[in-house]
Structure 1
């Protein structure tokens, strides 16, 4: 657990009560800096691809909905920075399973780069025909992010999407929330925005569709 810089019990308690939590300086500065370097290196090498919406045969790139580019971490799993990140996130998964009995079995995640002007319109993270995604994770890599640069994640706290909280994409901040409960969006970024976005998954149940 040495990779984590926060009280896991307190975080799990907040997740249980609220369904979401924001953790500043969640991982070590070294892990954060190494991830940022790896992300930018892969970006410069042209390894990212335009992000899509939907899944399986319904997957499509729709720039009017989201304008970021992604690189899945399993494609670069041998990088030391990625290994350190995955180990830290595994610590969180084990603790959440002990405290909340969510039955999480794996984490799927990707680097996400939002070029200047990019955004992601309001959405839920769980697919209609697949209930495996259970807990969303967003870890930010931007050092010294100015408030006027936008790019916040807007997390809607009620079913009518009238109440919300905005979280700036400052390096080291980790956001966790239940994937099937919270609508959210990424506000337009006025400069390049970097993150690692992922989903803790449980085993898929038999769906009625």
Structure 2
């Protein structure tokens, strides 16, 4: 695997996670790769491959648009060169987090997410009550020329009642501790594209 990311950026993510539990990095990957990923997301959506996302897990999972309205498609290695480049970059980040924080992240799962106009995701935590494997969340945005009036911000509820809104601008990566930071996606006014995923550790073991 070739190195996709620069060491200072990896170090910045690790340092941020260690000190405050979240990190925001602009221009995380090359612009041509970001555009290619956006094109693939739109193509696969047009071909009907993205489906309404559910809430809950297992047999209890159900589509509830009053809670979340995005459409998703899970990624598997080997589907396209562009997606494989992204997965390689996330594996580099996984190794850097393990080296710096000793969390013991074992793998990464992710999906394309498309929020059509009007869609949102109510406040939630990414870690399930009965499954603690998701340790670190990672959201990578694919939206070129996103304007403040387009909505779709990621709103994180931080310590001491601090609220942080992140614009879903192409090339921006947001990483945060899955079990510690409640968050929501505000209603978008145009199609909002991202790659959303989770670094996972072995279950039921403390960090």
Fold similarity call, TM over 0.5: yes
Give distance in 1, aligned partners of 2:92 and 2:172.
17
- TM-score, length basis structure 2: 0.95
Tell me the residue number matched to 2:174: 175
Give distance in 2, aligned partners of 1:206 and 1:133.
12
**Deviation at residue 78 of structure 1 after TM alignment:** 1.8
Tell me the residue number matched to 1:41: 43
Give distance in 2, aligned partners of 1:62 and 1:174.
27
Where do 5+ consecutive residues of structure 2 fail to align? none
Q: Is the 8 A contact 1:140 1:174 kept in 2?
A: yes
Give distance in 2, aligned partners of 1:111 and 1:123.
19
Tell me the residue number matched to 2:34: 32
Where do 5+ consecutive residues of structure 1 fail to align? none
Aligned mate of 1:22, from 21, 24, 47: 24
Tell me the residue number matched to 2:144: 143
Tell me the residue number matched to 1:126: 127
Give distance in 1, aligned partners of 2:78 and 2:164.
33
- TM-score, length basis structure 1: 0.94
Would you say how many aligned residue pairs link Structure 1 and Structure 2?
A: 204
**Deviation at residue 206 of structure 1 after TM alignment:** 6.8
Tell me the residue number matched to 1:56: 58
**Deviation at residue 105 of structure 1 after TM alignment:** 0.6
Q: Over aligned residue pairs, what C-alpha RMSD do you find?
A: 1.5
**Deviation at residue 13 of structure 1 after TM alignment:** 1.0
Secondary structure class of the residue paired with 1:7? helix
Give distance in 2, aligned partners of 1:92 and 1:132.
17
Give distance in 2, aligned partners of 1:83 and 1:24.
21
